[in-house]
Amino acid sequence: MRRALMSLCAVAALATAVVTGCGDGAGDARGQTRQHIGVRTPALTWRQEVRVNDALQRLTSRCMGRQGFSYQEERDLTLQESRPVRFVQDDLTWARTYGYGSRIETKGARLRERNVNGTYRQDLPATRRALFDDALDGGDGARMLTAPMPNGGEIRKRVGGCTEEAERTLYGDPAEWFRTSKIALSANSLYAGRLMKDPQLTAAVRAWSACMREAGEPYPDPQAAQDGVRAAAVRLGAARADEAFAAERRTAVADADCARRTSLRAVATAREKHYLDRLPDRYVKDIDTYRRLGRQAYDRAVRIVPERD
């Protein structure tokens, strides 16, 4: 259960609303209750995120072309194949077709192994290869961006060349986007322990589990169902891959059906929002900025690339 809810924490910040607050609603030092002001910018949907990423690829490819290099866009997966698999899966149609996405993962792994851009770079003469690196991301001379993490430490990233140009076109300031995105996507670590023990969420997961037992799928939580399917596929091996995928789809359909019957997504979203409500103001502001920059990027992306088929 603990590991499963940690998986929920890892993705829910992208999908739920955030409102500002301080502490756990206990008020300030004078006993006054802080007013919670909701973040006004909605989070991007996964479809919108895919389009923004496609726009980044398109802009990078155009820029590299101007520098005299080839750079192939990564659009080999369909829109539905690009859908992320999260803790709560309640789309019955998707589950019937893709299960938990194991075959999509395999397809993606094969595409990464092919790595057309990496092969192109490797085949260049050494001097051209260095110029390719400089054109793509600034090479060794690129500036370093840093993002402090909520629980301490920092993440760094080099940015320059066509990568920086593409990010600047969509987000405006690559440094501000990098900083706020890393904070927004890791802020769940500040309340993960409380969320894992939240009575309403754990009750919803128990209801989901009871529903799954009635369907012949005895799993304690959605993450355990996904892990169980993967373990079964390994045991069956490549020779019985079709049998494993059929079993994966049956479990995924039962999972989605039980998630709908128990309103698990609604409960998870509401409880996530409850804890995000009580983050310190500085994190709420960063999350709001992250969402605002993301929506700005999407508004620009729709003029650059069409939505995937």
Distance CA 161, CA 277 (A): 38
Average pLDDT rounded to a whole number, residues 148-169: 93
Model confidence at 237: pLDDT above 90 = yes
From the list 111, 109, 45, 56, the residue with the least C-alpha distance to 83 is 45
pLDDT given for residue 5 in this prediction: 41
pLDDT given for residue 35 in this prediction: 59
- The CA-CA-CA angle for residues 93, 98, 100, to 5°, reads 105
Average pLDDT rounded to a whole number, residues 118-135: 96
Average pLDDT rounded to a whole number, residues 260-276: 93
Query: What band does 104 get if pLDDT is binned at 50, 70 and 90?
Result: very high
Query: What band does 37 get if pLDDT is binned at 50, 70 and 90?
Result: low
Query: What band does 4 get if pLDDT is binned at 50, 70 and 90?
Result: very low
- Determine what percent of the chain is predicted with pLDDT higher than 70: 87
Instruction: Give the pair of three-digit tokens for residue 189.
Output: 């670590």
- The three-class DSSP label of residue 156 is strand
pLDDT given for residue 21 in this prediction: 29
191-207: b (≥16 Cβ within 10 Å) or e: bbeebbebeebbebbeb
